[in-house]
Structure 1
């Protein structure tokens, strides 16, 4: 995956190293960090675009994020697409979790899945929650899942 900052600047380091440098830099400035990882997708005709974000939240001081996008022509049902979003978030969370443990940074995986059963995405809620919690990660769904439903959503829309 090719990662960049919100302003479009490509990360010049592998994402794991860039995340570690960001954690070190921000904690040296005195900020208490929490990291939220989420993915959203948008279907446009035959293409599905995915955006995965790593959101660094500085307690009471805003935040910043790293972003990766890609597109596929694979057709998904809504449930499959929701679970692919979760799998993408878990993949990056798993790659980075040792850093969060090393630097004592709280991390959550956010799923763009509605907790209201009236919404189609709700079909994937039980499996997504089990997948995320089973990997040992903290889980948030809509409306608390801002990394996926707000941050990543802005990238694919």
Structure 2
């Protein structure tokens, strides 16, 4: 598998594979006594003929703030809104699956956030049932708007 280029919010590039970076970070956070929760989400934005995707891994230190890792990718593929929502979910599930064994080993709760509106008046709602089934079928905790801050706030800020 080709290594994705991840970075921190401050722009520092991650040189290690994300799995190794997260493992090392979890060891440091544990040594410092932090109790973490992780939320993974993806958002996208159409920009002309391209679609930019941003996937984030948000770590929350209970009562002590948080930090995140970011991965951006652009595609020129045309996608209807439902297909794009499901592509966002697939990208989130991909990284969640790659990291879930680490989170289990370190006893860290994980959620997968989908930038999909639970209100049927919004177009993204067309993908809600499939996204929920996909995420929960993989054994992950599912959150949608308005509770999906990793995708609808954190990743959203990256693609804007």
Q: TM-score range by the shorter chain?
A: over 0.9
TM-score (norm 1): 0.99
Count of aligned pairs between the two proteins: 157
Q: Deviations over 1:90-138 (max 9, x none)?
A: 0000000000111100000000000000000000000000000000000
| Counterparts of 2:63 and 2:122, CA distance in 1 | 33
* Aligned match for 2:41, one of 38, 41, 44: 38
Structure 2: runs of 5+ lacking an equivalent: none
| Counterparts of 2:38 and 2:23, CA distance in 1 | 12
Is it true that 1:93 corresponds to 2:114 in the alignment? no
Is it true that 1:125 corresponds to 2:122 in the alignment? no
Q: Deviations over 1:67-110 (max 9, x none)?
A: 00010000100000000000000000000000011110000000
Structure 1: runs of 5+ lacking an equivalent: none
Q: What stretches of structure 1 move > 2 A for 4+ residues in a row?
A: none
Aligned to 1:12: 15
TM-score (norm 2): 0.97
RMSD of aligned Cα (Å): 0.5
Is it true that 1:107 corresponds to 2:110 in the alignment? yes
Q: Deviations over 1:12-59 (max 9, x none)?
A: 211001111111111211111001000000001110000000000000
| Counterparts of 1:82 and 1:108, CA distance in 2 | 17
